[in-house]
Structure 1
Amino acid sequence: MAQQRGLWDWHNVHLIHSKTVEDLAFRHVVRLAQRTGVGMYFVHVTASDGADVISEARASGMPVYGEVLTLALSFEAERYKESDGMKYHTYPSLKFEEDRNVLWDGIMKGDLSPARMSATSGGGNVGIEIRMGVNYTEAVVKRGMSLERFVDVTSANAAKLLGMYPRKGCIAAGSDADFAIIDPEFRKALELSDLHVRDYNPWEGWDVEGWPTTVILRGKIMVDNGQLLGDGNDGRLILRKVDQSVLNRPAF
């Protein structure tokens, strides 16, 4: 069908996996969740249509949550037409500028959260190192999000949703000593040399104001003034259980 409609070129992927597809899929799953009484966590929300479904479900008291990749908060589908446009691709595909704005509105008012910290974005984009700095710039500096709210949407809420709170997501006696220290005076256009994985990055040249310069994991300094000190052996398996309050109604 895509070939018959003249959409066979890859940069039309957002017209194939469209906003309507997201709307139908989200509404189908929410309906099943409503019938079975379970919580629902949507990853990689890309369109206003999906954000609307989540907002409606939460307004009715359903324990429905949604997250957004920083890629979808930063770029829109017109970028696909650039000569190296594939570097912007993710799954699902990017949508339009109006969708990007709606996703930010959802984060600012509380229906959505930036994606939890994972190694890459869909499509292989190196997405972990840029997330705190780019989201701090866009949410706190440009849109006026409070620091307390920024901590919630990037740390505490994810820990609660995934059953790791209060071991993760807060500063308290008995919690893991995990810290990301952001220097608010850091101002520059990002270069690959600022990152530790330097294949390619769609945020190269992105102006940031604020950047995590020190990262501490369970009391061990992993990054010091931008220098990586940790290695792949520092991770630990965490046994977890989601609190029932998260599953009964929107917890935040």
Structure 2
Amino acid sequence: MPHSEPIDLVVRGGTVVNADWQGAADVLVGNGRVRALVAPGAFPSEAIRRAGAGELDASGRLLLPGGVDPHCHVGFTSGEFTSLDDYRQATTAAVFGGTTTIVDFAIPRPGENPADVVAVQRVKAADGLCDSALHACVVDWDDTVPEQLRALVADGVVTVKMFTTYRGETMAEEKTILKVMTHLRDLGGMVVVHCEADHIITDVQERRAAVGAIDAGHHAATRPELAETASVAEILAIAESVAAPVYFVHQSTPEAVDLVARARSRGVRAFTEAVAHHLVLDDSAYAGPHPERFVCCPPLRTATTVAGLRSRVFLGQVATIGSDHCCYDTAQKESARHDVRAMPNGLPGVETRMPVLFSELVVKRGLPLGRFVAALCANPARLNGLYPRKGVIAPGADADFALWDPSVTREVRGSGLHMATDYTPYEGLPVTGWPSTVVVGGRVVVDDGHLTDAAPHGRHIPSGALGPALIC
């Protein structure tokens, strides 16, 4: 048992849960890192006192790695709307929900260079209560892009988001996607794609607008499942043609996931991300009194589709589960509810991602704890070049973890959350299991539902090159 390094915190009596192992262990922390996992009681109270270390009693609780949310939009501007949170607010909400690392997006506005936007966004990390990483974004190809990609990867930004929709704003043409994929392949990076076929969506929306069915209550029909699967098939073909890795964000249908799974069976390094609201909510929300609160892209799907998507989690076909956090409020949503083409798209969820999915997948449906940790902690860290620094409780890893009470029950209420909005899409949902204590970099930041350390110690964490050894 290594004691050469100073120990300043000992977490005792809990059950450590990693993606590949779980068991009773005490965790020794020093200088913000995990120093050792030892047998329960192997570092006795007297030794803790001599070391001048703090002590956390985790008896009866699970000790999970801090969540890694691979899909967060903080202070994001789209069209006329900007989401309402900054890094301080978003990361405060994150840690209350057990997430200790977020991956944000540096998305350029028209005329901006990807590398310049990353540089501006990176500085914001220092305002956070936890660490963050970044996805870059390329919209148009020009002669400067190859050098920007090389500089980004060298500086620890290895994933680049691209959109196949939102023409005139963030949409990239197929040729641009192919070129970025090819360059990132050789640099150890990966393209991250929002897949919805813009031509299909535009046609459907124009036809629905002509008959007065383009408001929030009709949102699900304005972005059909076919638009997603058609785009996924096209992007998979591009990736396969140049032997490049590709990661699909917020896949919302079992058919889209199956396309990726079949490509993986052919040797394509292709990965599926799902997001919490597509696994829990369905399109019946659009028939309720506030359909605008549920407008997101892709939209919420039918209950049958949601069940099919959940089944792919249990089949092991979903690599990661994010939140796609986008913190608009009701007033912003209501201002354009008559036309979803003008509405701000996205749902707040960085705080609720882990508790809601723990309850819905682990407690209600029996997903093994290790699989839960893999999808919400370890795999997001791996696929963003952050593992084993993040997503695992192991010697050398950052001391980021959450103590979960697996039996506590509560109802999700927007008034009891910490996101910079006035609502949650999970209002009134009964949840079993919630983090009671959250440690970031060896510091207790949340304890018994209270913020105990509000000092901004957030860091931008550079990602390592992904290379050929991505998870399978």
TM-score strictly above 0.5 = yes
1:233 counterpart = 2:456: yes
Are 1:39 and 1:64, in contact at CA under 8 Å, matched by a contact in 2? yes
Are 2:320 and 2:379, in contact at CA under 8 Å, matched by a contact in 1? no
Task: Please give the alpha-carbon distance, in whole angstroms, between the structure 1 residues aligned to 2:358 and 2:388.
Answer: 23
1:196 counterpart = 2:418: yes
Q: Report the CA distance shift for 1:170/1:241 in structure 2 as closer, same or farther (over 3 A).
A: same
Task: Please give the alpha-carbon distance, in whole angstroms, between the structure 1 residues aligned to 2:382 and 2:216.
Answer: 38
1:126 counterpart = 2:348: yes
Amino acid at match of 2:461: I
Are 1:161 and 1:246, in contact at CA under 8 Å, matched by a contact in 2? no
CA RMSD of aligned residues (A): 2.0
Task: Please give the alpha-carbon distance, in whole angstroms, between the structure 2 residues aligned to 1:48 and 1:136.
Answer: 21
1:223 counterpart = 2:446: yes
Helix, strand or coil at the partner of 2:208: coil
Task: Please give the alpha-carbon distance, in whole angstroms, between the structure 2 residues aligned to 1:65 and 1:216.
Answer: 30
| Partner residue, 1:173 | 395
1:141 counterpart = 2:348: no
Unaligned runs of 5+ in 2: 1-206, 328-343
Task: Please give the alpha-carbon distance, in whole angstroms, between the structure 2 residues aligned to 1:246 and 1:6.
Answer: 50
Q: 2:225 aligns with which of 19, 38, 48?
A: 19
Task: Please give the alpha-carbon distance, in whole angstroms, between the structure 2 residues aligned to 1:78 and 1:146.
Answer: 29
| Partner residue, 1:115 | 321
Task: Please give the alpha-carbon distance, in whole angstroms, between the structure 2 residues aligned to 1:179 and 1:211.
Answer: 13
Q: Report the CA distance shift for 1:98/1:123 in structure 2 as closer, same or farther (over 3 A).
A: same
| Partner residue, 2:275 | 69
Query: Larger RCO: Structure 1 or Structure 2 (Cα < 8 Å, ≥ 6 residues apart)?
Result: 2
Are 1:63 and 1:246, in contact at CA under 8 Å, matched by a contact in 2? no
Are 1:43 and 1:115, in contact at CA under 8 Å, matched by a contact in 2? no
Amino acid at match of 1:244: G
Identity value in percent: 31
| Partner residue, 1:10 | 216
Task: Please give the alpha-carbon distance, in whole angstroms, between the structure 2 residues aligned to 1:116 and 1:134.
Answer: 12
Q: Report the CA distance shift for 1:118/1:226 in structure 2 as closer, same or farther (over 3 A).
A: farther
**Which structure: greater helix fraction?**
1
Alpha-carbon displacement from aligned partner over 1:18-46 (angstroms, at most 9, x marks no partner): 10100111000000000011111111111
| Partner residue, 1:152 | 374
Unaligned runs of 5+ in 1: none
Amino acid at match of 1:102: G
Are 1:57 and 1:64, in contact at CA under 8 Å, matched by a contact in 2? yes
Task: Please give the alpha-carbon distance, in whole angstroms, between the structure 2 residues aligned to 1:148 and 1:158.
Answer: 14
Q: Report the CA distance shift for 1:114/1:189 in structure 2 as closer, same or farther (over 3 A).
A: farther
Task: Please give the alpha-carbon distance, in whole angstroms, between the structure 2 residues aligned to 1:52 and 1:105.
Answer: 11
**Alignment length (residue pairs):** 249
Of 24-33 and 84-93, more deviation after overlay is shown by 84-93
| Partner residue, 2:467 | 244
Superposition TM-score, scaled by structure 2 size? 0.50
Q: Report the CA distance shift for 1:62/1:96 in structure 2 as closer, same or farther (over 3 A).
A: same
Task: Please give the alpha-carbon distance, in whole angstroms, between the structure 1 residues aligned to 2:269 and 2:453.
Answer: 37
Q: Report the CA distance shift for 1:115/1:75 in structure 2 as closer, same or farther (over 3 A).
A: same
Superposition TM-score, scaled by structure 1 size? 0.91
Q: 2:431 aligns with which of 201, 208, 219?
A: 208
1:187 counterpart = 2:409: yes
Task: Please give the alpha-carbon distance, in whole angstroms, between the structure 2 residues aligned to 1:177 and 1:206.
Answer: 31
Helix, strand or coil at the partner of 2:366: coil
1:55 counterpart = 2:277: no
Q: 1:96: Cα distance to partner? A: 1.0
Alpha-carbon displacement from aligned partner over 1:142-191 (angstroms, at most 9, x marks no partner): 11111111111110111111000011111122110000221112112222
Are 1:40 and 1:63, in contact at CA under 8 Å, matched by a contact in 2? yes
Helix, strand or coil at the partner of 1:20: helix
Alpha-carbon displacement from aligned partner over 1:58-93 (angstroms, at most 9, x marks no partner): 222211111111111111112112111221221211
Task: Please give the alpha-carbon distance, in whole angstroms, between the structure 1 residues aligned to 2:217 and 2:383.
Answer: 35
Larger radius of gyration: 2
Task: Please give the alpha-carbon distance, in whole angstroms, between the structure 1 residues aligned to 2:326 and 2:444.
Answer: 22
